[in-house]
Structure 1
Amino acid sequence: MARKTYQVIVRGRFAPLDDEQRAALLAKADDHDVFRAKFTEEGTVTYERSLLAFTFRCLVPATDEDGEAVVIGKAEALAAAAVSGIGADYRDLRSVSTDLDNIKIRRREHRYS
C-alpha cells in the first residue's frame, strides 16, 4: 500500500466560553499565535485574542485507498481533541486538504545577461 501525506487546515469557532475558559485561553494566547503554526502530525492550534475562531493545521498520513473524507475526518478528530486539550469546545468545523504528492513546484528560470 502506497503512503500519502495530506496537509489539512481545519477552521472552526469556539463554542460559547465562560469567564474561566476565556481567562485560560487568553493566558495562553501567545503560545497559540499564528506565527507559531506548523504542519505536524500532532497538529497546531492557533487563535486570536478575540476568541471567536481557531485554526488547526496538521499532516495526515494516508493510504491510496483513503479518500478525502477519511483524511478530513481524521484531521477534524485531531482538531477536536486539540481544542478540548486547551480547555474549550468547538463548533462549525470547515476543512480543506491538499495531497502533498500533487503539489508541483515551478522553478523560476534564471536568465543571466
Structure 2
Amino acid sequence: MSLPVAAGAKAAAAAPADVVDDALATVEKAVAGLLAAVTSGDAAGVVPQVTATLTSLVNLAVATVLGSGLPAPDLAGLPALPALPVAVPELPVDPPELPVDPPELPVDAPVKPPVDLPDLPVKPPLPVR
C-alpha cells in the first residue's frame, strides 16, 4: 500500500538536485569568466572574477550540504568576514630603489694562508728505472 503524496512534495523532493545543478552551473560560468579575465591581461578584471568564483564555490558547497538532507549549521557565533581591498595597484609595479652606496668590504682577508706555501704548479718527481 502506498501513501498519498501531495503534488508539491514531488517537486520539493527534486528541488535539492536542482539547487546543486544551478550552483554547479554558476561555478562553471564563474570559472569560464575567471579564465577569460586571466588570459585577457587586464589585472583589474581578475580580482572581481576571483571573488565571483570563490563565492560560487562556497555556494556550491552549501547547496551540496543543504541538499543532502543534513541540518543547516548555526553560524551565529562566527565573526564577520573581512572586506577585500578596494584599490587594485596598477601593474607592472616599479621595483624599489636599490642602495646607491655599496657596502664596505673587509680590508683583510678573513683567513690568512700559511707562510710556507710551495710554488705552484708542483712537478712530480720523475719515475726511477
The TM tier, using the shorter chain, reads: under 0.3
The structure richer in strand per residue is 1
- Structure with the higher helix share, 1 or 2: 2
TM-score normalized by the length of structure 1: 0.25
Structure 2 length normalisation: TM-score?
A: 0.23
* Bigger radius of gyration among the two: 2
